[in-house]
Amino acid sequence: MRTLADYHVPVNLNVLPIDVQFIGKPDSPISPIGARSIGEIGSTGVKAAIANAVFDATGKRLRDLLLTPYKLL
């Protein structure tokens, strides 16, 4: 039988170094300070992936955040 204790949870140590680059071309219509960003796009599926891992391990589908042990009972 699988449990959440068997599931590997990624932590900061698993994240590769982040390389920040400035391109020198402001995006004034989007941001008042002219900042551009794309980093948020990579994090949009993380919550769904963790919720699916919880479902895979427990068989219980949680559809709202925060994912807590109390909600699994």
Question: Does residue 64 lie in a domain region?
Answer: yes
Q: pLDDT category, 60, cuts 50, 70, 90?
A: very high
Q: Give the three-class secondary structure for 6.
A: helix
| pLDDT at residue 56 is higher than 90 | yes
* Angle at CA of residue 5, ends 44 and 69, nearest 5°: 65
The count of structural domains within the chain is 1
Q: What is the mean pLDDT of residues 18-32?
A: 74
Question: Does residue 24 lie in a domain region?
Answer: no
Q: What is the pLDDT of residue 41?
A: 63
Q: Which residues are catalytic?
A: 40
Question: Does residue 32 lie in a domain region?
Answer: no
Question: Does residue 71 lie in a domain region?
Answer: yes
Question: Does residue 22 lie in a domain region?
Answer: no
Return d(Cα 65, Cα 49) in angstroms, integer: 13
| pLDDT at residue 59 is higher than 80 | yes
Average pLDDT, the chain: 79
Domain limits at 47?
41-73
SS (H, E, C) 17-70: CCCCCCCCCCCCCCCCCCCCCCHHHHHCCHHHHHHHHHHHHHCCCCCCCCCCHH
Question: Does residue 11 lie in a domain region?
Answer: no
